[in-house]
Amino acid sequence: MTTPALLPLSGRRIPTLSPGASSFPHHRATLRLSEKFILLLILSAFITLCFGAFFFLPDNSKHKRFDLGLEDVLIPHIDSPKEGKHASGQVVIHGQGGHDEHRHREEEESLRDKIRADHERALQEAKEKLRKSREELQAEIQTEKNKVMEDLKKKDTGPKPLPPVPMPKVAGVSDGEPPEPDVKEKRDKIREMMKHAWDSYRQYGWGHNELKPLAKKGHSTNIFGNSQLGATIVDALDTLYIMGLHEEFRDGQEWIEQNLDFGVNAEVSVFEVNIRFIGGLLAAYYLSGQEVFKLKAVQLAEKLLPAFNTPTGIPWAMVNLKSGVGRNWGWASAGSSILAEFGTLHMEFVHLTYLTGNPAYYQKVMHIRKLLAKMDRPNGLYPNYLNPRTGRWGQHHTSVGGLGDSFYEYLLKAWLMSDKTDTEARKTYDDAIEAIERHLIRKSNGGLTFIGEWKNGHLERKMGHLACFAGGMFALGADGSPDDKAGHYLQLGAEIAHTCHESYDRTVLKLGPEAFKFDSGLEAVAVRQNEKYYILRPEVIETYWYMWRFTHDPKYRQWGWEAAQAIDKYCRVSGGFSGVKDVYSSNPTYDDVQQSFFLAETLKYLYLLFSSDDLMPLESWVFNTEAHPSTDSQLLLDCRHEP
C-alpha cells in the first residue's frame, strides 16, 4: 500500500503524494439535485395556493367592503357642485352606478377564474415532475442552469478598465545565444525537449491542466479543483517566449483569450494558482506587453481575495472561485494554514497593486508580515503551521523544504524587487537564515552539508529535493549579507549544490530522489520506497543555474547537462515526459504525469543555464518560486501603501 505524503502536488513548497497514490477526497455533504428540485417545487406550489386563498378567493365581507367603497366613491358625487357638471350645473353620472357595479363584479370573477386555472396548472406540472426519472430531472435542471448562465453572460458588461500605468522597462528578453558551439548545441537540445513536451500536451491534453503522456490524455489534481483551467498553458507561456517559440506562444495566448474563465465552481489552492497562474500571466504580460494577460491575472486575483476573510487575516489554503468560501487542508496541523503558502504571495500581490491601483493586495501581504513579526518564534525558527482562527502556531515543525521553503525565498526577493529598499524584508530574511544555520544546517560524517528538519526540538537528518533550491537562494542573497558574510553564503550555496548533485549521482538513473537521509552510514540516499521517486522537479537545476551565474564554474553546466541527459533518456516517452517511481531501479515504472512545472521551471532553468548572461539578467528580473520572471523596476515602489 502506498503511503500518501502531504498534498497538494506542486512545483515546490508542498511534498506530494508518492506516485500512484490517489488524491485526498473532498468531503462535502450534498443533497441530490432531483430531491432538492422536487422539494422546492412542492413548497412553491403550496405557498402559491396559500397566497391565492388568502388574497383572491371569494370572501363575502371583503367584497361587501369593496362594494361599499364603490358606492361611497360614486353616489356622493351626484349632488356635488365641484365635479362632473356642465355649464348648467347638472350632474352627468346619474343612472350609471348599477352598470359600473356589475362590470366590476364580472372583472373579479374573471380574475378568480384565472387564479384557479393557474393553481391547477402548477399542481399538474408538479405531478408531472414527480413522475419523471432522476435523469430527466437532472437534464431539465442542467438546461435551466445553462439558460441562467447565458443570461448572466449577456448582462455582464465586463470588468472595469484598469488604470493606465507605465510599463516597467524590461531588458534581455530574447536571444542569449552562447558563443561556444558545444554550449549552443546543448541549449538547442533543451529547446527541442520543450517543443516535445509542449507539442505532446497540445495534441493530447489541450485545455486540461496537465498531461498523462503514456495514456495520452489530460490530467489534473485537486489543487486546481474540478475545472479545466489550462494550467500547463499558463505555466509554460514565458518559457515559450524566452526560447523564441513564438507560434506556440500565440497558440497559448489564443486559448487564454477564448477559454480561460475563473468564474467556475472550483475549489483551488490559493498558493498554487497564485504562483502558477497569476505569476505566469504577469510574466507573460511583462515579456510580451499583451494586455490580455494582465486582465486575466487581475480577474483571478479578485477571486482569491475572499481567502483572506479570516479572524487573523492569514488566508485559507483553498478558496472556491465562485462562492469565495475558504478552508484549510484536512491534513494540516489543527486546521492550520501553511507557512510556505501564505508566505508566498508577496511578489505577485505587489505587482497587482501596481497594475490595478488597488492597495488591498499590498496591504494584505504586509499584514501577514507584521503579524508574524509580533509572534514568538521557538529558537528563532518559524514553524510550518499557523492557525488562521487563533493566530497561534500549530505543530513545531520547521523545514526549508516542503511546507516552509518559499516563505524564506520571498523575503529575500521582496527586498530584491524593491530595488533593495525593503530593509524590513531583508532583516527578516537574515534573522531567519541565521536561526536555520544554527539549528538545521549540519555536515555529515562524509563531509556533505545538508539542511535537516526541526521537529519538536529534534533534528531529523533528512533533506528533501525541494530544499535543494536553497543553494541558489543563499547565492542570490550573498550580496547584502550582514557582517561581510557574502563569501560565506556563496560558499554555503556551493556546498548545498554539491550535496544535491551527490543525491543524483548516487542513483542508478542519475536523477535525484524526493528525499534522502544522512544517518546509519547512508548519505544522500533515499531509504523509504515512497521517497525514491522523481517527478521532473526543478530545484537542483535551479541551484545549478544561480551558482553558474554567480561563479561561472563550468561544473554547474556539466551537472546540469548530466541531469538533462538523464531526463531525456529515462523520462521521455512518445507522448511527452513522465516522472519515474524509483530512481534506483534500472527499469523504472512511470508515474504517467507531465507536471506543468516541468515546462515552467525545469526546462526554463536548463535553457538559461546554457544561455549567455544577457538573457534574463538578474539585475533586471526576479523569478518567483515557479520560475516566472517579473521586473524589479523602481516604478513598483510607488504602489506600496501602508495599511
Distances (CA, A) of 591 to 7, 148, 233: 16, 41, 21
State phi, psi for 327 to the nearest 5 degrees.
-160, 170
Active site residue 514: yes
Distances (CA, A) of 402 to 7, 346, 623: 10, 18, 19
Percentage of the chain exceeding pLDDT 90: 70
Say which residue, 44 or 466, is predicted with more confidence. 466
Q: Which of 49-58, 148-157, 250-259, 478-487 has the lowest mean pLDDT?
A: 49-58
Active site residue 539: yes
Active site residue 272: yes
DSSP notation for 562-583: HHHHHHHHHTEETTEE--BS-T
Q: What is the pLDDT of residue 166?
A: 86
Mean pLDDT within 517-532: 95
pLDDT bin (cut points 50, 70, 90) of residue 116 is confident
pLDDT bin (cut points 50, 70, 90) of residue 518 is very high
pLDDT bin (cut points 50, 70, 90) of residue 486 is very high
32 pLDDT higher than 90: no
- Give the start-to-end residue ranges of the domains of the chain: 181-640
277 pLDDT higher than 50: yes
**How many beta carbons lie within 10 A of that of residue 422, not counting itself?**
21
Q: Which of 210, 302, 341, 514 is catalytic?
A: 514
Burial class (CB in 10 A: 0-12, 13-18, 19+), 154: exposed
State phi, psi for 584 to the nearest 5 degrees.
-100, 5
Say which residue, 222 or 121, is predicted with more confidence. 222
Please give the mean pLDDT across all residues of the chain: 85
Q: What is the pLDDT of residue 17?
A: 44
Mean pLDDT within 527-532: 96
Say which residue, 55 or 633, is predicted with more confidence. 633
Cell of 581: 517511481
CA separation for the pair 309, 56 (Å, rounded) = 47
Q: Which of 272, 341, 348, 592 is catalytic?
A: 272
pLDDT in tens, 282-312: 999 999 999 999 999 999 999 999 999 999 9
**How many beta carbons lie within 10 A of that of residue 158, not counting itself?**
6
Longest dimension (CA), the chain: 126
pLDDT in tens, 148-195: 665 665 455 456 788 888 888 888 888 899 999 999 999 999 999 999
Q: What is the pLDDT of residue 108?
A: 72
- Domain 181-640: which CATH class? mainly alpha
Scanning 375-422, the segments in alpha helix (DSSP H) are 405-417
50 pLDDT higher than 60: no
Mean pLDDT within 618-635: 89
pLDDT bin (cut points 50, 70, 90) of residue 321 is very high
pLDDT in tens, 127-146: 776 776 676 666 667 666 66
List strand residue ranges (DSSP E) for 297-356, in order.
318-320, 326-327, 337-338
248 pLDDT higher than 70: yes
- 625 a known binding residue? yes
pLDDT bin (cut points 50, 70, 90) of residue 390 is very high
Mean pLDDT within 265-287: 98
Q: What is the pLDDT of residue 51?
A: 53
Scanning 375-514, the segments in alpha helix (DSSP H) are 405-417, 423-439, 470-476, 486-505
Q: Which of 523, 539, 542, 582 is catalytic?
A: 539
Residue pair 583/505 in contact by the 8 Å Cβ criterion? no
Q: What is the pLDDT of residue 165?
A: 86
Q: Which of 235, 341, 348, 405 is catalytic?
A: 405
Mean pLDDT within 572-580: 98
Coil/strand/helix, residue 214: coil
- Strand ranges of the sheet holding 397-398, from the earlier edge strand across to the other edge: 397-398, 453-455, 458-460
Q: Give the contacts of 362 (CB within 8 A, at least 6 positions apart).
A: 349, 350, 353, 639, 640, 641, 643
